[in-house]
Structure 1
Amino acid sequence: MMRASAILLTAMASTMMFASPAEAKKKQPPVPAAPARPAPILALPGSPNASAVNYFFERRQEAPLWLTAAGTAAVADLLEILRKAPIDGLPQGPQYAAQVEALVQAAATGDAVAKKTAERALTNAWVDYVQALQRPNTNVIWGDPYLTLKPSAPDRIMALLAAAPSIASHLQTVSAVNPYYSAIREVALAEQASSGRASDKALLNLERARIIPGTGKFILVNAAEQRLHMFQGGQSVGSMKVVVGDADKLGLPTPIIASTMHYAIANPYWHVPEHLIRKFAPNIAKDPVGYLKSRNYEVISDFSENPQVLSPTSVDWKAVAAGTAKVILRQKPGGQNSMGKMKFPFPNREGIFLHDTPTREYFTLANRAKSNGCIRVEDYRGLAHFAFGRDVAAIGSEPEQHIAAPRGIPVYVTYLTMVPGSNGIETFADRYGWDRPGAMAGGMPARAGSVQAGGSPN
């Protein structure tokens, strides 16, 4: 009996061991199915910022920005901005406006997913628009890399939007850019509405105005207006006449620059531009010592801080006049010095700066495009007081006295033939011919204000 039981157990074990895979599978408990992952809610499909916008809302746990009691009023403002956005550099703006408007209407049904999608689309459209406003400008000499126009990171744009006390006010401030830009844009939009296209003049001025900040303390030189403006808190607190580069006779227009001034120089030297040295050379050759002494000039070995002063008779002035030899000539401080009593340098590849001048009669002219590229200011004391917050002047007669500014002052040199005035838009003559399409394509002319390294145009 025991032997029969053992045989039966062995047979059962064999049957279980050699059961088919199908039969074994039937005996395993079923594996629960994974829960379906919800499809991602896209902001604006195709936008390079869509993923950043989605992540932003995930981090804030879908807290709304726009579809709230406080934010709803800004939706209509954004739609209006987007419809006009091609003039600001976002050609797909009207398409965005149509998409966003449809999504906002869908969200009005109360559907949770529709609300999340609309919030993302509104934010995504705003991020794309702001980055279009901040796109690089290649027609500017960026002397200070920190001022260079470049699109902000989407996270920064969204953080500023979320932190704004009023989204509607934030949209208005950012989209205005600055008073010059917003006024010129209205002209361009009006032209577009009446004739189907904005004029080249309006569009080129709009692009040049885009580099100007909307707030803060800075100096603005408008070469077309031939005036310097001092801005504090986004408002002009004073202006003065300037003399700018002569494009007609000298071929030396004052270029468009964005840089920062960190110091001024009292009792400056004037390093004579090379083309003027060649012009003076035939007369110098007649009496080198007498000519240079009468005009307070001296020949120096190099542009270092302590160059060697050379004898005028050591120079072949005829070769200089012919352009086969070069010489470095500077004018010492004094009443005749072309830099006047103070100059205000700011880094830029063309050696352009602001400075005082003894040639006061130029400020009475209607056309003050008379310099070799640099900017002569009508009131250097007023400019210095604005930059330094106090009166500054040379101490004694020592040349090249550096006076440090409490903080760097941005300097924007631009060319606006259209500016807002008390009676609408004021216009100025296009003396440089930069209101023509393509006139500035690829950057500034290489010769604009050009001098050899270390030199200084006036």
Structure 2
Amino acid sequence: MHKSNRSKTTLIFLLAIASLSIILPACKKKVRSDISKVLFSETRNKVFKDLNADTFAVIMKRTLEQGKSKMTNPKLITSFYESKDYEPILILQHLPKGQLKNIPEYLSKTGEHGLDPRIFSAEQISTLTGKFYDKKAIKTKEEAYQDLADLELMLANSFINYSNAMQFGILSPRKIYANYYTKTKRPDSISMIRIFAVKDLKNYLDSIQPKMPQYLALQKALSEGVVGPQIDKEETSRILKANLERLRWKNKPSEKKYVLVNIADFSLDVIDNNKSVLTMKVCVGEGRNKDLTADLKEYDETGLSKDRPFSRETPQLNSMIHSVQVNPVWNIPESIATNEITKDAAKDRFYLSNKNIDVYKDGKIVEDPETIDFSAADAGKIYTFKQRPGDDNSLGKIKFLFQNDESVYLHDTPAKAAFNLPMRAVSHGCVRVEKPLDLALALFGEGTKYQTIKKEMQSDKPEAKDIVLSPQVAVYLTYITAWTDGQNVLHFRKDVYGLDIVLDSYLQRLSAGK
């Protein structure tokens, strides 16, 4: 471009900006930072010598309006910069002494955390940051104003996202899983705004790196390209990335003593002072992959707001075990009554009496259930069913109760053979425990209540009896498909509910900018 034409273009640009600046309140003079002094002092690029802070504020406001759709937290970022008169807070604070160079370095290494660097605009930030440390890269004031606004907002968005991801996880489990009821702390506006006040950027970025031994072990396995037994490299990578994200979620037990059920491992542990004092097999709810051999890639969750669980999947949740019922009565759910009980009763008129199942209508027991037409389509809704205590009771000799909206509990079972199966996702949603009396001892300890439980479970004339557990003990139903044990041996489990696939699909959508 001819020099005179370039000068004319610059003049027109500055006049346009000057006219736009009229929209800023003129009744009160704002005290702005000397952005020229900071930028020129650090970069030695002459184009920064005579930048006008009011002019930049107009560019910044316009860029902010245009870029909202690309931000994860647009309202928070907009509100913050409005309160700061649209100053480039992060650049003014971190450009000096080369601090700004730290951010691209960390963002480019997010693959080590199982996160695509594209989620954090790593490449764009690296390129744009490089322009500011190259005194010849930015050649005009127009370019300086725009690059300054672009970098500031890109940094704000990515810095918040990265900080949140490292400390809370990049995804909210409540938003991607339909059967998720575990208390999980998520970042709030106060924690995010604090990011703008960070002084020593490198120290802060170092401080938020996950340092749990489990996390570091999975990171190492991912970086070394470990392949799990009987699974391919792609699935191993997905499993590792999914479990790294789970470890970043703030939903871990804080109690000294708690019961931990790993749905994917079909196991239960009682943890006391960070050590397992009791472990046993469990049976959990049926999943989408009943035999662990089918290819779950068919469950592509792309585009879904949440996953589509199988109706019998055991939910992820946490609660407090408050009591047990010895020789429990089983209040049979309507779904089981409709799909199983009424069908069996229609085939065999002695089925209900043989199974000690009573039939109720409008809350009153039906004295002669043989007169009922159980083949009717609505029989499971008209009638309710309860199974009396006894050896055939589906809940066995004891159930462990905790408050939850899914009517799920831990319980004994007469079907002991299922514990010998390698794939134990066979229940209707509750968790069957292999050693119920041992669990009762671990919860209650030796004493009168435990002796009562033991005696009643062995009674020839079983009657339902409720026994309060005090103090209550926390219970966590979790889903973990990769972890290391005390000997640093890496374990993998099949994704029987397809929850790794759900999580992975959301990570891929983030990578694609969706």
TM interval, shorter chain, is 0.5 to 0.7
Task: Describe the superposition over 1:308-335 as per-residue Cα deviations: whole angstroms up to 9, x where unpaired.
Answer: 3332x13545x32564522322222344
Identify if the C-alpha distance between structure 1 residues 130 and 360 changes in structure 2 by more than 3 Å, giving closer, same or farther: farther
Q: Which residue of 2 aligns with 1:447?
A: none
Q: Which of 429, 441, 452 matches 1:373?
A: 429
Q: Which residue of 2 aligns with 1:127?
A: 160
Q: Which residue of 1 aligns with 2:207?
A: 170
The answer to whether the aligner puts 1:140 opposite 2:194 as a matched pair is: no
Q: Which residue of 2 aligns with 1:242?
A: 282
Q: Which residue of 1 aligns with 2:265?
A: 225
Q: Which of 367, 370, 374 matches 1:320?
A: 374
Contact 1:269 1:400 in 2 (8 A): no
Q: Distance in 2 between matches of 1:271 and 1:430?
A: 31
Which residue identity lines up with residue 120 of structure 2 in the other structure?
Q
Q: Which residue of 2 aligns with 1:399?
A: 464
**Cα offset, 1:240, TM superposition:** 2.4
**Cα offset, 1:255, TM superposition:** 3.8
Contact 1:221 1:227 in 2 (8 A): yes
**Cα offset, 1:164, TM superposition:** 13
Q: Which residue of 1 aligns with 2:13?
A: none
Which residue identity lines up with residue 119 of structure 2 in the other structure?
P
Q: Which residue of 2 aligns with 1:277?
A: 341
Q: Which residue of 2 aligns with 1:331?
A: 387
Which residue identity lines up with residue 266 of structure 1 in the other structure?
Q
User: Secondary structure at 2:483's aligned position in 1?
Assistant: strand
Which residue identity lines up with residue 204 of structure 2 in the other structure?
I
Higher helix proportion, which one?
2
User: Secondary structure at 2:119's aligned position in 1?
Assistant: coil
Q: Distance in 1 between matches of 2:239 and 2:101?
A: 33
Moved more, 80-89 or 159-168: 159-168
Q: Which residue of 2 aligns with 1:258?
A: 317
**Cα offset, 1:376, TM superposition:** 0.8
TM alignment of 1:290-301, pairs within 5 A: 291=354, 295-301=355-361
Contact 2:112 2:222 in 1 (8 A): no
Q: Distance in 2 between matches of 1:141 and 1:310?
A: 37
Q: Distance in 2 between matches of 1:266 and 1:34?
A: 72
Q: Distance in 1 between matches of 2:329 and 2:132?
A: 65
**Cα offset, 1:226, TM superposition:** 1.2
Task: Describe the superposition over 1:201-230 as per-residue Cα deviations: whole angstroms up to 9, x where unpaired.
Answer: 643664477456345246443333211245
Q: Which residue of 1 aligns with 2:234?
A: 199
Identify if the C-alpha distance between structure 1 residues 140 and 433 changes in structure 2 by more than 3 Å, giving closer, same or farther: closer
Q: Distance in 1 between matches of 2:176 and 2:270?
A: 23
Identify if the C-alpha distance between structure 1 residues 226 and 286 changes in structure 2 by more than 3 Å, giving closer, same or farther: closer
* TM-score, L = length of structure 2: 0.55
Which residue identity lines up with residue 127 of structure 1 in the other structure?
I
Q: Distance in 2 between matches of 1:66 and 1:410?
A: 45
**Cα offset, 1:126, TM superposition:** 3.6
The answer to whether the aligner puts 1:357 opposite 2:413 as a matched pair is: yes
**Cα offset, 1:172, TM superposition:** 1.7
Q: Distance in 1 between matches of 2:94 and 2:435?
A: 49
Q: Distance in 2 between matches of 1:300 and 1:180?
A: 51
Q: Which residue of 2 aligns with 1:94?
A: 122
The answer to whether the aligner puts 1:155 opposite 2:193 as a matched pair is: no
Q: Which residue of 1 aligns with 2:478?
A: 413
User: Secondary structure at 1:347's aligned position in 2?
Assistant: coil
Task: Describe the superposition over 1:142-195 as per-residue Cα deviations: whole angstroms up to 9, x where unpaired.
Answer: 564x7257x52242245499799973563123xx6x766665565555559xxx
Q: Distance in 1 between matches of 2:323 and 2:107?
A: 47
Moved more, 265-274 or 44-53: 44-53
User: Secondary structure at 1:172's aligned position in 2?
Assistant: coil
**Cα offset, 1:257, TM superposition:** 2.1
Task: Describe the superposition over 1:349-406 as per-residue Cα deviations: whole angstroms up to 9, x where unpaired.
Answer: 4x33322234434333333333233211223455556667887546777636263664
Q: Which residue of 2 aligns with 1:7?
A: none
Length, aligned pairs only: 381
**Residue ranges of structure 1 left out of the alignment (5+ in a row):** 1-31, 108-116, 442-458
Which residue identity lines up with residue 281 of structure 1 in the other structure?
A
Q: Distance in 1 between matches of 2:241 and 2:205?
A: 23
**Cα offset, 1:281, TM superposition:** 1.0
Q: Distance in 1 between matches of 2:190 and 2:439?
A: 38
Identify if the C-alpha distance between structure 1 residues 431 and 122 changes in structure 2 by more than 3 Å, giving closer, same or farther: closer
User: Secondary structure at 2:208's aligned position in 1?
Assistant: helix
Which residue identity lines up with residue 245 of structure 1 in the other structure?
G
Contact 2:323 2:400 in 1 (8 A): yes
Q: Distance in 1 between matches of 2:83 and 2:153?
A: 9
Moved more, 327-336 or 233-242: 233-242
Contact 1:205 1:435 in 2 (8 A): no
Identify if the C-alpha distance between structure 1 residues 97 and 438 changes in structure 2 by more than 3 Å, giving closer, same or farther: closer
Which residue identity lines up with residue 172 of structure 1 in the other structure?
Q
Identify if the C-alpha distance between structure 1 residues 142 and 346 changes in structure 2 by more than 3 Å, giving closer, same or farther: farther
Contact 1:269 1:330 in 2 (8 A): yes
Task: Describe the superposition over 1:83-134 as per-residue Cα deviations: whole angstroms up to 9, x where unpaired.
Answer: 6577269623423662686499689xxxxxxxxx999987753421244524
User: Secondary structure at 1:147's aligned position in 2?
Assistant: coil
User: Secondary structure at 1:367's aligned position in 2?
Assistant: coil
Identify if the C-alpha distance between structure 1 residues 329 and 82 changes in structure 2 by more than 3 Å, giving closer, same or farther: same
Q: Which residue of 2 aligns with 1:347?
A: 404
Contact 2:412 2:432 in 1 (8 A): yes
Moved more, 178-187 or 326-335: 178-187
Identify if the C-alpha distance between structure 1 residues 54 and 309 changes in structure 2 by more than 3 Å, giving closer, same or farther: same
